[in-house]
Chain A
Amino acid sequence: MKKSGGGSWIEDESYYLVDVSQTGGIEIVLTDIPEDDYTEITYTIGVDSTRNVSGSQTGALSTSNGMFWSWNSGYIFMKFEGTSPQATSGTFAYHIGGFTTANNAIYTNTHQFGTNLAITEGGTPKVHMHVDMKSIFDSQYTISVATMPNVQMPGTNAQMVATNFHNAFTFDHIHQ
């Protein structure tokens, strides 16, 4: 989070797993942000390469969450599964990840609030983000479940889906 007067605040151990299939899973609560006015937020979609090669982790990075490839070590940054009559088997599954230079699928997004987000003692301001899942199919690359129903490992296809997915995020507004 960038401060209006310069400088920024970076959260320690800042790993969150957002489960859109669960009610309430899409609210991320940040606590103990230093009191100040903030103008923008930066976050990473994916897991930094260090944590991909450092053995067993906890919390959002626990293997119990099913977001780690057992046979090809590395985190699955995003899982998007569903059914479609266009997919030959009727289903599609995108498990997207990749942390090596060749297969890098990590994206960092920055959104400017356009106004100051004031963090005060006891305050609970909210930042509303929109995620338009349609972007996965048609932003930078055209992705089709008919021709590419399964992406389940790092590589070029995963990078294309990751590129499209990071475009899905937009900042909407602030509740002060």
Chain B
Amino acid sequence: MKYNKIWAVVFTALTLLSCKKEYSTGGGSPQFTPPPHFPEPVYTFKANPLTKNGIALGKKLFYDPILSADNSISCGSCHAQMHAFADHNVAFSTGVGGKLGKRNSPTLANLAWYPHFMADGGINHIEVQPLAPITDSLEMAETMSNVVQKLSADSTYRALFKKAFKTNVIDDQKIFYALAQFMGTIISANSDYDKYINGRISYNASQEKGLELFRQHCESCHKEPLFTDFSFKNNGIDTAFADIGRGRITQDYNDYGKFKVPTLRNIEMTYPYMHDGRFYNLEDVIDHYSEGIKESHSKDASVNNLHLTAQEKKDLINFLKTLTDYSYMSNINYAE
């Protein structure tokens, strides 16, 4: 009888598992649970099965300056958890040798839902995203073959790669797999907005009004619940473009001055704003959309001065602040 009971429990557990969508085929405990109010993720870890050891290795690599040419800068140097994985409130990040980057370091969250990466969308897959900052001469200024060499010479890393991928051979693919496992499992979905959407809290009157204004004026590009539709738009910040943005990728004049619509999740923490960090606070950003829109050939037709009242601006900002997710910024699983 005892044995029968145990079997019954095991079968129930198996049935439950098979009903759930599977995002991992590997061993270990998968740490990827898409929030119920999110769409289907783009990256499902199919070719790169999630494991506890894979995620742990990715985290170690993310915070290790060994990825940079002079072992001085890690991914975490410019993607700080306390700032929603954006840089420490600077317009441009400092790379190897004190060189300054050319675009504002973006927040990292919900990357498994991203169809492309970077402000110009030039990178088409989460696994090859780290190649850009690692090899960019203004960032980590390293080569992948050097990274492979340095990691292979380190017995701790050899053991960690063996644990994660069952192989002694460290190559760029395993490095990218590990980083994708860590970065792809960083989820921000526990802000007051999420609690509100899931019926766990109510908004105050100003936040309610802010959400209403947001849905009226911003939602068409900053689509809930990821707060971006991942399209490329010229939001009227310039008449001439020092950085042509999406145009650099497509070489299409119509795309000059367009940048990826960024997520607004944790926007309170990721100042300064825009691709070049020109606006230092949310008030400046709202003022821009209210009365600062500049005309140019590629400016989006939907972007026009909103002429908001002072109270409406406050309401919008009060709503935007409900997108701050403190539990994600203090989640020990993501911490150095």
- CB-CB contacts of B129-149 with A at 8 A, as 1s and 0s? 001101110000001110010
Write out the residue numbers on chain A whose beta carbons fall within 8 Å of the beta carbon of B285. Answer: none
Q: How far is the CB of B104 from chain A (nearest CB, A)?
A: 16
Bound Cα distance A63, B171 (Å): 9
Bound Cα distance A72, B250 (Å): 10
Bound Cα distance A57, B177 (Å): 10
Contact: B128 with A63, CB < 8 Å?
yes
Q: Quick one: which of A53, A58, A66 contacts B124, CB cutoff 8 A? A: A53
Given contacts A56-B172, A155-B251, contact A63 B47 (CB under 8 A): no
Bound Cα distance A66, B145 (Å): 9
Contact: B128 with A55, CB < 8 Å?
yes
B211 within 8 A of partner (CB): no
Given contacts A71-B132, A155-B251, contact A57 B173 (CB under 8 A): yes
Contact: B126 with A62, CB < 8 Å?
no
Write out the residue numbers on chain A whose beta carbons fall within 8 Å of the beta carbon of B251. Answer: 153, 155
Q: Quick one: which of A54, A64, A72, A153 contacts B145, CB cutoff 8 A? A: A64
Write out the residue numbers on chain A whose beta carbons fall within 8 Å of the beta carbon of B131. Answer: 63, 68, 70
Q: How far is the CB of B253 from chain A (nearest CB, A)?
A: 13
Q: Quick one: which of B47, B118, B126 contacts A71, CB cutoff 8 A? A: B118
| Shortest Cβ distance from A155 into B: residue | B251
A110 within 8 A of partner (CB): no
Bound Cα distance A54, B173 (Å): 12
Given contacts A58-B173, A62-B171, A71-B132, contact A53 B125 (CB under 8 A): yes
Bound Cα distance A32, B68 (Å): 42
Q: How far is the CB of A17 from chain B (nearest CB, A)?
A: 13
Contact: B122 with A71, CB < 8 Å?
yes
| Shortest Cβ distance from A157 into B: residue | B251
Write out the residue numbers on chain B whose beta carbons fall within 8 Å of the beta carbon of A58. Answer: 171, 173
B289-306 with Cβ < 8 A to chain A: none
- Chain B CB count within 10 A is highest, among A52, A71, A153, A155, for A71
Given contacts A63-B144, A64-B148, A68-B131, contact A55 B176 (CB under 8 A): yes
| Shortest Cβ distance from A74 into B: residue | B124
- B-side interface mostly: helix
- Chain A CB count within 10 A is highest, among B47, B125, B177, for B125
- Chain B CB count within 10 A is highest, among A52, A66, A72, A74, for A72
Q: Quick one: which of B118, B127, B136, B248 contacts A56, CB cutoff 8 A? A: B127
Bound Cα distance A66, B176 (Å): 15
Write out the residue numbers on chain A whose beta carbons fall within 8 Å of the beta carbon of B176. Answer: 55-56, 63
Contact: A55 with B125, CB < 8 Å?
yes
Contact: A70 with B125, CB < 8 Å?
no
B123 within 8 A of partner (CB): yes
Chain B interface residues (CB < 8 Å from chain A): 47-48, 118, 122-128, 131-132, 134-136, 143-145, 148, 171-173, 176-177, 180, 248-249, 251
Chain A interface residues (CB < 8 Å from chain B): 52-58, 62-64, 66, 68, 70-74, 153, 155
18 further interface pairs, Cβ-Cβ under 8 Å (given A53-B124, A63-B176) = A55-B48, A55-B127, A56-B172, A56-B173, A56-B180, A58-B171, A62-B144, A62-B173, A63-B172, A64-B143, A66-B143, A70-B135, A70-B136, A71-B118, A72-B122, A72-B248, A72-B249, A73-B125
10 closest A-B pairs by CB: A55-B127, A56-B176, A73-B124, A56-B127, A55-B125, A56-B173, A72-B122, A64-B144, A64-B145, A70-B132
Provide 13 A-B residue pairs closer than 8 Å at the C-beta atoms, listed in order of the A residue.
A52-B124, A53-B125, A55-B125, A55-B128, A56-B177, A62-B173, A63-B128, A64-B143, A64-B171, A70-B123, A71-B132, A74-B124, A155-B251
